[in-house]
Amino acid sequence: ISAESAGQKKDTSPEESSHGGYETLIVTTSNNITKIMFNRPEKKNAINHKMYREIIKALQEAAKDDSTIAVFTGNGEYYTSGNDLSNFSNAQPSEMGKVAKDGAELLKAFVGTFIDFPKPLIAVVNGPAIGISVTLLGLFDVVYASDKATFHTPFSHLGQSPEGCSSYTFPKIMGTAKANEMLLFNKKLTAAEACALGLVSEVFPDSTFQKEVWARLKAYASLPKNALAVSKQLLRNLEKEKLHAVNSQECEVLTERWLSDECLNAIVSFFQRKSKL
Amino acid sequence: ISAESAGQKKDTSPEESSHGGYETLIVTTSNNITKIMFNRPEKKNAINHKMYREIIKALQEAAKDDSTIAVFTGNGEYYTSGNDLSNFSNAQPSEMGKVAKDGAELLKAFVGTFIDFPKPLIAVVNGPAIGISVTLLGLFDVVYASDKATFHTPFSHLGQSPEGCSSYTFPKIMGTAKANEMLLFNKKLTAAEACALGLVSEVFPDSTFQKEVWARLKAYASLPKNALAVSKQLLRNLEKEKLHAVNSQECEVLTERWLSDECLNAIVSFFQRKSKL
Amino acid sequence: ISAESAGQKKDTSPEESSHGGYETLIVTTSNNITKIMFNRPEKKNAINHKMYREIIKALQEAAKDDSTIAVFTGNGEYYTSGNDLSNFSNAQPSEMGKVAKDGAELLKAFVGTFIDFPKPLIAVVNGPAIGISVTLLGLFDVVYASDKATFHTPFSHLGQSPEGCSSYTFPKIMGTAKANEMLLFNKKLTAAEACALGLVSEVFPDSTFQKEVWARLKAYASLPKNALAVSKQLLRNLEKEKLHAVNSQECEVLTERWLSDECLNAIVSFFQRKSKL
C-alpha cells in the first residue's frame, strides 16, 4: 500500500457520503469537503464528453450542498490528460462542422460552471496535468501539487488555441513572457516551476502529499463557511463578466481551429503515432 | 541603543519639522520625506477610529506639503496589528447596525485616501503587519521590510472578508493561487515569502534595516519631484476608478460580515482567549 | 571568433533573404523567422528618429511576409541603449514645443505598431537594454536574455516618465512593489532578476546564448503558423484597446515632461557629463 492510497483511505471516514449516478467521476462528501475525483485511470483520466457533462453536474450539486469547499483530484497516476482527442477522431468528416460547434458549446458551458462556482475551489494535482485541466487552474482558488505533477498545454502543437480562460488568467498570474512559453510554445512545467510562477500554491513531496494536503483541507473546511463563500465571491465578482467574455471568445476561436487543416493533420498524426506504439 | 533606534535618530536631522496635533501618530518632514509613524506601541499600533482619522489627515497634509515622497512605518516592535477589534467590542448589541455602517464609511474614506494619494508612497515595514495594514500594501508604490516582518490577513478566521482593495491588488500582484491562501485561508507570510510573491520590494536584515532603507529613501527623495509625482499618477490613474469601485464593494460586503453571527462569535472568542492570558 | 558571432553566422543559412532599404537595422528572413537587428553598434544601438521609423516599417513588412515569428536583437555589445537623447539636444529652444509634439507622435505610432503586431514577437536580449527597449518587452510574447543583459529605465533621473505601455504592463507582470522600483526609482535589474520578476522568460549563459536560443526559435517557427498567429491575437485582443489607451496617455504625459525644466536640466547635465569623459 503506497502512501498515496493510504492517505486517500484515511479520508474515507465513516460519515462520508458518496454521490451516485456518476460513471467517469467519484464524488464524495465528508468533513465539509466535496471531493470530485476524475475516474478514468485506464485512460489517464482523459475528459470525454460524458465526463465534461458529469463535471458540470457535480459542480452544480457541490454549489448547493452543505460542503464548505470543493476539491478536484485524479484517480491513479494522472491528474488528467485533458481533452480526450477521440472526441474528434470518432467523427465523420462530413459531421465535423456540427462536432466542432457542439464541442465548443459544451466547452463553454463547462468552463462557465467553473467561473460561476460560488465556494472555494481547490485542485489537488496528484500527477501530470495536460491541456484544459491546466488552463482551468487559473480559475481555482488554491492549487496544491505533488512533486510528480507536470503542467503541459500543447495547443499550437495540435494546431489549436488556448481555452479555460488561460488567455486571460495566465498572463495575469505569471506575466506574458512566461505565459506565452506555455500557451504559444508548449513549454511543459515541473511542479516546482509552476509554483514559482504562481500557477501552483505549494508543492509537496509525493510520499506525504495526500496526508499533508488533506489535513490542511480539513482545517480550511472548518473555517466560517459563509465568510469563505462571501470572500470567494467578492474576488470572483470583480472579473466574472470579463471571464465569461474571454471564455466565449476562446471557444469561438477554437471552433475555427478544430475545422482547420493544421488541427486535423495534427490529430491524424497523433493517432498514427499512437497506433504505431 | 539598538541599531534600529540609532538609525531612526540619525534621521532626525536639525532641519526636521514635526507636525503637531496627532495623538496616535508621529508625523515629521525632513529631507523632502514626510514620515508617518504609527504610534501606539503599547497596543502593537492597533488602528482605532482615532488613528484611522489621523492617518487620513496626515495623508491629506502630505499630499499638499513640500515633500517628494511619503513613508509609513511603525514605532516599536510591530508595524501595526491592524484594525483594533475593540472598535467593535465596545459597542452595545443594539447599536451594532450603526457601528458597522459608520465603520464601513470610515474604512472606505480611509482606503480612498490611499488610492488618491498623489506622490510616491513607501512602506517601511519594521515588524509584524496584520489585516488592513497588509492589504493596503497593494496600494503602496514600494514596500521595504525588515526580516522580522510578517504578513497576516486572518479575515475568514474572524468571520470577515478582504478589504484595502486586496481582492483586486493581491491576485494581480501574486496570482490567484497564492493570493487566496492569504485572503481566504489566513496563510501568514514571512518577509522573504512576501518578497518572492511581489508584495514586498526588498527585505533587509533587521540589524541594518533602518540605516539602509533611509539612505535609499533620501536618494529617492532627491530625484526630480514633479517627474516622480507625474509618473506615480500616470500609473495610478490607469486603475483609480477600478480601485474606488473595489473599495466600495469590499466595504459593502464587510458591513454585512460585521453583523453576521460568524463574525460576532469570532470576536467574542478572541477577547475570551485574550482575557484568559 | 567569439561564440556569439559564430552562433550568429550559423543562422545565416543559404536560403536567408536580406531585406534592403534599411540604414539603422539589418532585417533578414530565414527558417520562417524574420530577424530585425538594431544596427548602430557604435552608438550602443541608440534609437534615433530614423531608427524609430525603420522599425515601424520593418514590423509592418514582417506582419505581412511569410515568416511565422519575428525576432528583435542587437548588433554588438548592447541590445539597445534606448532613445537617442540627441533627438532632443539638437533642437533649438524655440523649436522645443514642436520637437516634443512630433517626438510624442512618432513614439505613439512606434509603440502602437508593437501593440498591433499579429504574430509571435520574441526579443533576444544580447546585452544591456535601456529605456524604451526595456519597457517594450512587456509587449513581446517571449523574452530570452544573455546573462550579460541588464534592464534599466532611468525615467525620473532624466525628469521623464514611463512609456512603451510599461505603466500598465510592468505592474501586471511583476506587481506594483517591484515595478515602481524600476519605473519610479530607476532600479537596474540583472538578467536573473528580470527573469525572476517575469519580464524575461529565460536567461542563458552568454557563451551559449546565441546557439541555444536560435535552435529553440527554429523549433518554434516550425509549429503550425496559423495556430500561433491566432493564439497570439486571441491573447492580445483581450487588452489591445486598453494598451492603445495607455500608450496615448503615456505619450501625452511625456510631451509635458519633455518641455519641463526638470527634463531639460537633466539632459543638459547628461551631455555635460558625457563631454567631460
With a cut of 70, say whether residue A163 has pLDDT above it. Answer: yes
State whether B199 and C175 contact (CB < 8 Å): yes
R_g of chain C computed on alpha carbons: 18
Q: What pLDDT band is residue B122 in, cutting at 50, 70 and 90? A: very high
Mean pLDDT of all residues in A254-263? 95
Alpha-carbon gap, residue A30 to A32, rounded angstroms = 5
State whether C141 and A197 contact (CB < 8 Å): no
Taking the CA of residue A248 and the nearest CA in chain C, the distance in Å comes to 11
Alpha-carbon gap, residue A238 to C231, rounded angstroms = 25
Mean pLDDT of all residues in C175-198? 98
Mutate to test the interface with C, among B217, B223, B225, B236 (most CBs of C within 10 A): B223
State whether A185 and C223 contact (CB < 8 Å): yes
Q: Between A143, A172, A238, which is nearest B167 by CB?
A: A238
pLDDT tens across A187-244, in order? 999 999 999 999 999 999 999 999 999 999 999 999 999 999 999 999 999 999 999 9
Mean pLDDT of all residues in C59-87? 95
Q: Between B198, B223, B232, which is nearest C175 by CB?
A: B198
State the pLDDT at residue C277: 65
Q: Which residues of B touch C175 (CB under 8 A)?
A: 172-174, 197-199
Q: In chain C, pLDDT over 70 holds for what percent of residues?
A: 95
With a cut of 80, say whether residue A91 has pLDDT above it. Answer: no
| Predicted ipTM beyond 0.95 | no
| CA neighbours closer than 13 Å in the CB half-sphere of residue C205 | 3
Q: Which residues of C touch B142 (CB under 8 A)?
A: 177, 180-181, 184-185
Q: In chain A, pLDDT over 70 holds for what percent of residues?
A: 95
pLDDT tens across B71-80, in order? 999 999 999 9
Q: Between B137, B142, B234, which is nearest C167 by CB?
A: B234
With a cut of 90, say whether residue A10 has pLDDT above it. Answer: no
Mean pLDDT of all residues in C58-68? 97
Q: What pLDDT band is residue B85 in, cutting at 50, 70 and 90? A: confident
Residue of B nearest to C166 (CA): B235
With a cut of 80, say whether residue C53 has pLDDT above it. Answer: yes
Q: What pLDDT band is residue B277 in, cutting at 50, 70 and 90? A: low
Mean pLDDT of all residues in A61-67? 97
Neighbours of chain B (3+ CB pairs under 8 A): A, C
With a cut of 60, say whether residue A11 has pLDDT above it. Answer: no
Residue of A nearest to C223 (CA): A157
State the pLDDT at residue A184: 98
State whether A176 and C220 contact (CB < 8 Å): no
With a cut of 70, say whether residue A13 has pLDDT above it. Answer: no
3-state SS of chain C? CCHHHHHHHHHCCCCCEEECCCCCEEEEEECCEEEEEECCHHHCCCECHHHHHHHHHHHHHHHHCCCCEEEEEECCCCCECCECCHHHHCCCHHHHHHHHHHHHHHHHHHHHHHHHCCCCEEEEECCCEECHHHHHHHHCCEEEEECCCEEECCCHHHCCCCCCCHHHHHHHHHCHHHHHHHHCCCCCEEHHHHHHCCCCCEEECCCCHHHHHHHHHHHHHCCCHHHHHHHHHHHHHCCHHHHHHHHHHHHHHHHHHHCCHHHHHHHHHHHHHHHHC
Q: What pLDDT band is residue C83 in, cutting at 50, 70 and 90? A: very high
Taking the CA of residue C17 and the nearest CA in chain B, the distance in Å comes to 42
Residue of C nearest to B122 (CA): C177
pTM of the predicted model as reported, rounded to 2 decimal places: 0.93
State the pLDDT at residue B251: 98
Q: List residues of chain C with CB under 8 Å from any CB of chain A.
A: 120, 137-138, 140-143, 169, 172-174, 197-202, 220, 223-228, 230-232, 234-235, 237-238
Q: List residues of chain B with CB under 8 Å from any CB of chain C.
A: 120, 137-138, 140-143, 169, 172-174, 197-202, 220, 223-228, 230-232, 234-235, 237-238
Mean pLDDT of all residues in A262-266? 91
Q: Which residues of B touch A223 (CB under 8 A)?
A: 156-157, 185-186
State the pLDDT at residue B261: 93
Residue of A nearest to C229 (CA): A184
State whether B140 and C176 contact (CB < 8 Å): yes
DSSP codes joined into one string, B105-174: HHHHHHHHHHHH--S-EEEEE-S-EETHHHHGGGGSSEEEEETT-EEE--TGGGT----TTHHHHHHHHH
State the pLDDT at residue C7: 39
State whether C120 and A180 contact (CB < 8 Å): yes
State whether C155 and B231 contact (CB < 8 Å): yes
Mutate to test the interface with B, among C185, C246, C248, C260 (most CBs of B within 10 A): C185
- Under a CB-based contact definition with an 8 Å cutoff, are residues B95 and B274 in contact? no
State the pLDDT at residue B275: 80
- Choose the weakest-confidence range: A39-48, A123-132, C80-89, C205-214: C80-89
State the pLDDT at residue C13: 53
State the pLDDT at residue C14: 52
Distances in Å between the alpha carbon of B211 and those of B4, B7, B137, B180, B203?
A: 8, 5, 22, 34, 13
Q: Between A120, A174, A226, which is nearest B175 by CB?
A: A174
Alpha-carbon gap, residue C70 to C59, rounded angstroms = 8
* Helix (H/G/I), strand (E/B), else coil: A21: coil
